[in-house]
Structure 1
């Protein structure tokens, strides 16, 4: 798909991996709708990027909120042919800890945002994509999801997070098969340790130690590197139904 003809929705686009993706896409000639609940950050980023970007306050778990945001994006740019799902949350909580069993509420909340929110965005955006005029490769759209290496190497305290990200990995192929009839590709990225707001507030030594867990390059990944892979997926029509680890060869230990 031609990046210069791209109109992308990026969830969680106001910060972290989402913001890196937004910047990469705009720098490549695309137009982007930033879907996020962080109004101040999202508005600031859209203002920085000018006419190529718009901020739409969006709750990915709410059908009415997503529908209204998609309407706003289409009204501004004419259509949507790319979705990048980066919105997500996490908790650190053992199945059975010193304070008792894992909270069912927090477990459900992580799945609601990470897994159900991703699916909600896919189903509603795919409907819009199905109405697009296909390009020379018969494509009408591309969807890129964000899982995590925790889908495979979940650590102690990551039951909820790993379950949510494992669900995204598991639904990638069947959704790609579902959407093949309308010419929409679906690919998932499973990043390792990346420099995101999740690490903000940690001491510099702790961040350096985390980065050195990655075999090579021995550092935290950069949001721009995640965005670079998103661009590669978009432009390569044979990438479909697959999950790609972007992790510097890391395999997470139990803790």
Structure 2
């Protein structure tokens, strides 16, 4: 995918992985729309990169449709969607006060899984109407999963389930959308220095980082953004979920 003047949408872009991805895409010449429920944060990122900010709850169907319509009016239909929205929440199935509230599980699925499919379906519909590039490609949809989908820890049953759903949809979506020239790829980050990690891991210390085979540190959001750019440029990457965790099998 040639990113010069390419319309791109990044969700969850007010901070962390999404914000850094938006910066990298803008530096590569893309016309970037940044979306997040945090109106102040996403506007700050947009001002920094010269992009378009749209406050939006992407798990809400109508809100997401309106956001993509606004982005389409400003930049044209997106050929790139990088979905970085995610909520990190560690909570035991049975705690001191009894079973985990079902609403907590429902909210994780709503934010992490339903928003992913919602944006995928809407972006794919726009991409399918675009003229293909010279190699037949119309667009790329890249969703953010988590290594917790494979190696969830105690207290992460709900979180792992929500991210496991993201992993499971990548291959069938790629098979369905491939004939339209749309690639679907996932990235499963490990321990990255983002607000999501800090929300889940209350007692971060050096021992946690040293469990990573190499390098012995938390991931830098820039490393996630670099992988996003490689995926976008390498047309053979499709229908897979790439672990980005330094070999850390939790």
TM-score w.r.t. the length of structure 2 is 0.96
Count of aligned pairs between the two proteins: 250
After superposition, residues 86-125 of structure 1 pair within 5 angstroms as 86-125=84-123
- Aligned match for 1:185, one of 171, 183, 186: 183
Q: Deviations over 1:230-253 (max 9, x none)?
A: 00000011110001100000011x
* Counterpart contact for 2:87–2:196, Cα < 8 Å: no
Equivalent residue number for residue 213 of structure 1: 211
After superposition, the Cα gap between the structure-2 partners of 1:158 and 1:200, relative to the gap in structure 1 and judged at 3 Å, is closer
Q: Gaps (5+ residues) in structure 1?
A: none
Q: Deviations over 1:52-85 (max 9, x none)?
A: x110111111111111111111111122101011
> What is the RMSD of the two structures over their aligned residues, measured on CA atoms?
1.7
Which range moved further: 238-247 or 209-218? 209-218
In the aligned structure 2, how far is the partner of 1:198 from the partner of 1:186?
A: 24
- Are 2:42 and 1:42 aligned? yes
Equivalent residue number for residue 70 of structure 1: 68
* Counterpart contact for 1:212–1:219, Cα < 8 Å: yes
Per the TM alignment, residue 212 of structure 1 is displaced from its structure 2 partner at its CA by 1.8
TM-score w.r.t. the length of structure 1 is 0.94
- Aligned match for 1:146, one of 144, 147, 151: 144
SS of residue in 2 equivalent to 1:206 = coil
Q: Gaps (5+ residues) in structure 2?
A: none
SS of residue in 1 equivalent to 2:4 = helix
SS of residue in 2 equivalent to 1:229 = helix
SS of residue in 1 equivalent to 2:186 = strand
- Are 2:17 and 1:17 aligned? yes
In the aligned structure 1, how far is the partner of 2:187 from the partner of 2:33?
A: 20
After superposition, residues 223-234 of structure 1 pair within 5 angstroms as 223-234=221-232
* Counterpart contact for 1:115–1:164, Cα < 8 Å: yes
